[in-house]
Amino acid sequence: MANLTISNRSAADTAGDALVVALVPGDGGATLAPGHGLPRKTVAHLKSVVTDLELAGKVGEVTTLAAVPEVAAKLVVLAGVGQLAADASALEDVRKGIGGAIRSLSRKKKVAVVVPGTSVEVVSAVAEGVALGAYAVSKAGTRSTDAVAAVALVGPADAASRRAVKRAAALGEAVAYTRDLVNLPPNLLYPETFVDSLADRVKGTKVKLKSYDMKALRAGGFGGTVGVGQGSANEPRIAVLSYTPTRPKASIAFVGKGITFDSGGLCIKPANGMLTMKCDMAGAAAVAGAVLAIAELGLPIAVTGYLGLAENMPSSTAQRPSDVVTMRGGTTVEVLNTDAEGRMVLGDCIALASESKPDAIVDIATLTGAQVVALANTAAVMGNDDDFRTRVLDAASTVGEAMWPMPLPTELRPGLDSINADLAHKGGAEGGMLTAGIFLSEFVGEGIPWSHLDIAGPAYNDKAPTGYWPKGGTGFGVRTLVGLAESYV
């Protein structure tokens, strides 16, 4: 994660490997965003380049120039950020535009970024774009040093702007940790080592860690988690991260699906279907990142993260279709397809979270292929309380993570009836994303507002990098969970 600072120094006099200057669309082509403060000769040169190259200032347009007159930096990078405005969509364009520019500068040690304006909203968007873009995928088991090492924002250095930069740095560090976890190969990240990573990460923080091993899971009645993990040599775990400030204004529970590798179990996936299944723990990783960020920011909100960790493998000890297991809380569930395993660990964790009677519960999971088919890289949001679901959606919109409301139709509930158990764990082919949400709703404590985030699409980018998204784990969901906590402050 890059060291991130802000000052009102002169952009032209700021030495370093590169200076990033924003471009916005204008009549007949791009123009330099306001507030750059660059010398007249520099501006004339840049305007000439913009005209010659027919730059438009659109988001994602990144142009690198050398030998720009009267600029101390070795390179000047022109970054299209779209139309500047105060609305959520325009601020997200700033994040993407600046993030893409920073991502293009990998292996540079020191970069300066001119803030295109003076509002704290724009400062925050620029800082977040930097923090999210300054990431490089690590080789297995290491932390990459290819990302930009230090970024100095050139803009207003008032107290509000400094707080915005501090927040962006905390979010960037949390998202980077989440991405690192998702990108780790499954022979290095499995339930036990996931817990080990959490134990290392919480040292020196105000976050406490508790974990349940296989013996404790059996004793605690976590039949869903035990059933999913019993086919693997790597035993399952449930990890609980808790942050409890003095006199909290609210208490929220985050629940994350943490299937460290999903082969499908006995209902095995085709080979190509397994290629990205190391990312099936992205929900748990997002919960870990969010709890750590909330603690780092010192928000007056009590947050507990429940991470259901298991490896879904086929073996002579694996659970079978038609097995009946008893979940935390006593609900019996008939397993119909072992490749629909995520809802089982989530059900256990939601039931556990409900026992503490938090003000709200949010679960987040790479849960269904149906979400990807329906919404691609837009996450689905379901829930038992319209007001709370709207609160989650508002938080997502504010931070720039694409989410869309989906229903939980009551007419689909009979599809989860079973003659052998209280509940079948899977419905028919139609509405798979929705019946998964209905299943999870059965484990939410009475009267507790709850939302379910299906992030199967946006959690992992298996295509080319774009904006502040690298290839691989995206860290999607961390900022929404933090934004939700902030909404209670």
What are the backbone dihedrals phi and psi of residue 101, each rounded to the nearest 5 degrees, phi first? -65, -45
Burial class from Cβ neighbours inside 10 Å (0-12, 13-18, 19+) for residue 356 reads middle
Q: Which two tokens stand for residue 485?
A: 């906590």
In single-letter form, the type of residue at position 175 comes to: V
Residue 477 has pLDDT above 90, yes or no: yes
pLDDT of res. 141: 58
Q: How far apart are CA 337 and CA 265, in angstroms?
A: 9
User: Which residues, other chains included, contact 163 with Cβ-Cβ below 8 Å and sequence gap of 6+?
Assistant: none
Per-residue confidence at 27, pLDDT binned at 50, 70, 90?
confident
Residue (of 258, 280, 299, 310) closest to 460 by Cα position = 280
269 is catalytic: yes
What pLDDT band is residue 356 in, cutting at 50, 70 and 90? very high
Residues 44 and 71: their CA atoms lie apart, in Å, by: 13
pLDDT at 294 over 70: yes
Report, as an integer, the average pLDDT of 258-263. Answer: 98
Q: Which of 180, 193, 33 is CA-nearest to residue 113?
A: 33
The string of pLDDT tens digits covering residues 357-392 is: 999 999 999 999 999 999 999 999 999 999 999 999
Do 354 and 300 meet the contact criterion of CB atoms below 8 Å apart? no
Q: Reply yes or no on whether the pLDDT at 143 is more than 80.
A: no
Give me the residues paired with residue 77 across strands. 20, 64
The span from the CA of 376 to the CA of 371, in Å, is: 7
Q: Which of 103, 179, 278, 343 is catalytic?
A: 343
What pLDDT, on the 0 to 100 scale, is given for residue 139?
76
Q: What is the pLDDT at residue 472?
A: 95
Catalytic, 343? Answer: yes
Q: Above 90 in pLDDT, residue 406? A: yes
Q: Average pLDDT, stretch 112-136?
A: 94
pLDDT in the model for residue 362: 98
Mean pLDDT on 460-467: 95
What is the number of other CB atoms lying within 10 angstroms of the CB of residue 120?
A: 16
pLDDT at 35: 86
- Average pLDDT value over all residues in the chain: 95
Catalytic residue among 9, 269, 413, 471: 269
Asked if pLDDT for residue 226 goes beyond 70, the answer is yes
Mean pLDDT, residues 190-209 taken together? 98
64-86 tens-digit pLDDT: 999 999 999 999 999 999 999 88
* DSSP codes joined into one string, 359-415: SEEEEEE---HHHHHHHTTSEEEEES-HHHHHHHHHHHHHHT--EEE----GGGGGG
Tell me the average pLDDT across 226-245: 98
- Mean pLDDT in residue range 340-368: 98
Structure tokens at 237: 């775990």
pLDDT confidence bin for 137, thresholds 50/70/90: confident
Question: pLDDT at residue 140 above 80?
Answer: no
Q: What is the CA radius of gyration of the chain?
A: 23
Q: Which pLDDT band, with edges at 50, 70 and 90, does 92 fall under?
A: very high
Contact 241, 198 (CB under 8 A): yes
Contacts of 30 (CB under 8 A, 6+ apart): 23, 24, 50, 55, 56, 57, 61, 78, 80
Name the more confident of 27 and 380.
Answer: 380
Short-list 262, 459, 244, CA closest to 364: 459
Q: What is the pLDDT of residue 142?
A: 66
- At residue 32, φ and ψ (nearest 5 deg) are -65, 135
* Cβ atoms of 442 and 327 closer than 8 Å: no
